Amino acid sequence: MSALLAAPLGWLGVAYLGSLAVLFVAAFWRLDPFTAEVIRDYSFSNFRTLWEGEVYRDIALRTIGIAALVTVIDAVVAFPIAFYMAKVASPRAKALLVVAVLMPLWASYLVKIYAWRIILQENGPLNWLLEPFGASGPGFGNVAGVIVFSYLWLPYMILPLYAGLERIPDSLLEASSDLGGKAGRTFRRVILPLAFPALVAGSIFTFSLTLGDYIAPQIVMAGNQFIGNVVYTNVGVANNLPLAAAFATVPIAVMVVYLLLARRAGAFESL
Partner 1 sequence: MITAENAAHFPRVSKSPEPPDVRLQGVTKRFEDVLAVDELTLEIPRGSFFALLGPSGCGKTTTLRMIGGFEDPSEGRILLGDHDVTGLPSYKRDVNTVFQSYALFPHLDVFENVAFGLKRRKVAKAEIAKRAREMLAIVGLEGMDRRKPRQLSGGQQQRVALARALVNHPRVLLLDEPLGALDLKLRKQMQLELKRIQHEVGITFVHVTHDQEEAMTMADSIAVMSRGRIEQLGGPTELYERPRTAFVAGFLGVSNLLGGTVTTSGAVRVDGTGEIRVDAPLPPAGTRVQVGVRPEKLRLDDSAANSVSGTVVERAYIGVATQYVVDTPAGRLTVFVQSSGTAAEGDAVRVSWDPESTFVLEEAS
- Per-residue x/- marks for partner 1, 131-170, CB under 8 A? --------------------------------------x-
Give 176 or 203: the residue with its C-beta nearer to partner 1.
176
Map the footprint of partner 1 across residues 37-96, applying CB under 8 A. Answer: none
Nearest distance from C-beta of residue 186 to partner 1, angstroms? 9
Backbone angles phi, psi at 231, to 5 degrees: -60, -45
Q: Which residue in 201, 213, 195, 180 sits closest to 263, CA to CA?
A: 201
The CA distance from 46 to 24, in Å, is: 12
Least separation, in Å, of the C-beta of 169 and partner 1? 7
> By C-alpha distance, which of 55, 82, 71 is closest to 223?
55
| Pick 48 or 167: Cβ nearer partner 1 | 167
User: Out of 194, 241, 255, 259, which residue is the one contacting partner 1 (CB under 8 A)?
Assistant: 194
Min dist. Cβ of residue 10 to partner 1 (A): 37
CB of 175 to partner 1, least distance (A): 4
Q: Residue 78 in contact with residue 156, Cβ under 8 Å?
A: no
- Residue ranges in 224-243 that form contacts with partner 1 under rule CB under 8 A: none
CB of 116 to partner 1, least distance (A): 39
For partner 1, the binding residues in 242-271 under the rule CB under 8 A are 270
DSSP readout, 7-29?
HHHHHIIIIIIHHHHHHHHHTT-
The nearest distance, CB 95 to partner 1, in angstroms, is 19
What is the C-alpha to C-alpha distance for residues 74 and 219, in angstroms, rounded to an integer? 21
Q: Binding to partner 1 (CB under 8 A): which residues in 164-193?
A: 169, 171-172, 174-182, 185, 189-190, 193
How far apart (Å, rounded) are the C-alpha atoms in residues 177 and 173?
Answer: 6
Nearer to partner 1, 186 or 240 (CB): 186
Give the CA angle between residues 270, 252, 155 to the nearest 5°: 55
Residue 236 Ramachandran class (φ > 0 left, ψ -120 to 50 alpha, else beta) = alpha
The binding site for partner 1 (CB under 8 A) comprises 169, 171-172, 174-182, 185, 189-190, 193-194, 270
